[in-house]
Structure 1
């Protein structure tokens, strides 16, 4: 992303478009980065390149959304409170922009914005305004999303914004006096301090103790089982497992009701009742949660339909079709 931003003002084209395409291929939402890149190109006087970038990004959005439609409409899931159609959503934002505060409080928006910009404040100068415009599409969607994790910096949603902020710092460097070493040193020290403050305040370091490390044995146990599941087999899994089994024609997660219409499956894989699951920021045993009870019902149905079910280790439960 940073190379693509840098290449906007260069005469060569292949490196720019290659980096743009590689970025877009990461996921359909990266079309927002492409739109921002187009806006950045406009501010730099590269109007044709900006227009082509926007057209490519819009085309990618429709293509990738169609290809990933089996996973659901992510726009409706995260912006559905604005309206039933894309046009309705835009109209609501224009007529009643304050509705955003029903899903994102002003304090959360302020803290999110502060956390994003804090490490870069000492370096940003007027030339960075073009990069801030480029970051606007991703930033604004994160702000208005019904999904709070898009405003948490320990997730990936803000990476395109960070790329533009870094590019903004690079654009600003010529205005920081190279002769005044004292100024350079002060800027360096301020950036170091602000970066450490932002990291400690926003990186959720304590999650390693409360969420990640306690589930490490389960992760190892899961990987020892998942290696035996073929790429052509249809799978029903929990939300934490399903992302590691993607890329197949038929896959569902038990948290979504649509798995019922896709039944039967070749493989069902769930965490054991004693395994830990993240519920509203706290780890609980699967057997003591609502989704755990749903998993038990699914496994009973699987056994009744003739699937062979077992618990290969302390953390994972597995059912297979036609195994005996």
Structure 2
């Protein structure tokens, strides 16, 4: 049996049913409306609303960042390969949210396969601004060094390596798919479950008793959190009779809810 869902069913039925609200990204297009249907309606009936957003310096800079590494391999005859990527590009250009207009975040990733297909088509047709292999490699190297956050590999990406073993030990202790509360960095390693929340000190406080496992890194609390917030949670859990500490190692704490 096959299951086919329309975009309307997803945005108007499934997402509101499980989240209790509109699709989460609606706020990034608030200048067009406060709902998916309202935004779609205004796109058609009030196209003047988007002109100021499309023709902006932010979008010009975004397109330069996006195309600079591969501009040598794009030709008018092979632009059809980019057509499937237009919805993604349009969402990013229309968004009133800066992370959708850079290469640091994931929002432009769906465009990558179509850019690669365009380059392949251009090279196969013998077109493109650059034909020499050495020139292509040099251009790619220069743009990589200019745009890639390669310095992160020796800094930001390794800042929590000192607690890596303790974190790995704690993750190994989570052997069921019961609800988990953890940091934004650890959450991707535990997403094979129905309920998982990451620590966020600016969000509405969660009820810790709703979780079976709570995994915290007080030294590296992760995105949207802080050491003060993480230490506060640790203190609350240490005094909570419903939880017991399963792992306490190198500022990494795993608390497990006691059986009822």
TM-score by length of 2: 0.76
SS of residue in 2 equivalent to 1:83: coil
CA-based RMSD of the aligned residues comes to 3.6
Decide whether the 8 Å contact of 2:89 with 2:111 is kept in 1. Answer: yes
TM-score by length of 1: 0.63
Alpha-carbon distance, 1:117 to partner = 1.5
For residues 270-316 of structure 1, what are the alpha-carbon distances to aligned partners after superposition, in whole Å with 9 as ceiling and x for unaligned? 111x336457xxxxx932xxxx32x3443444333431236621131
Decide whether the 8 Å contact of 2:170 with 2:215 is kept in 1. Answer: no
The question of 1:313 aligning with 2:249 is answered yes
Report the equivalent of 1:298: 233
Report how many aligned residue pairs link the two structures.
247
Report the equivalent of 1:123: 73
Report the equivalent of 1:40: none
246, 271, 292: which is aligned to 2:191? 246
Decide whether the 8 Å contact of 2:170 with 2:253 is kept in 1. Answer: no
Decide whether the 8 Å contact of 1:215 with 1:276 is kept in 2. Answer: no
Report the equivalent of 1:135: 85
The alpha-carbon distance between structure 1 residues 60 and 160, as it changes in their structure 2 partners (threshold 3 A), is: farther
> As a proportion of its length, which structure holds more helix?
1
The question of 1:197 aligning with 2:160 is answered no
1:1-324 matches, cutoff 5 A:
58=6, 62=10, 66=14, 69=18, 73-76=23-26, 78-80=28-30, 82-93=32-43, 94-98=47-51, 100=53, 106-176=56-126, 184-185=131-132, 188-255=133-200, 257=203, 260=206, 263-272=209-218, 274-275=219-220, 277=222, 286-287=226-227, 292-293=228-229, 295-302=230-237, 303-309=239-245, 312-322=248-258
Mapped to 2, the partners of 1:222 and 1:261 lie a distance apart of 23
| 5+ residue gaps, structure 2 | none
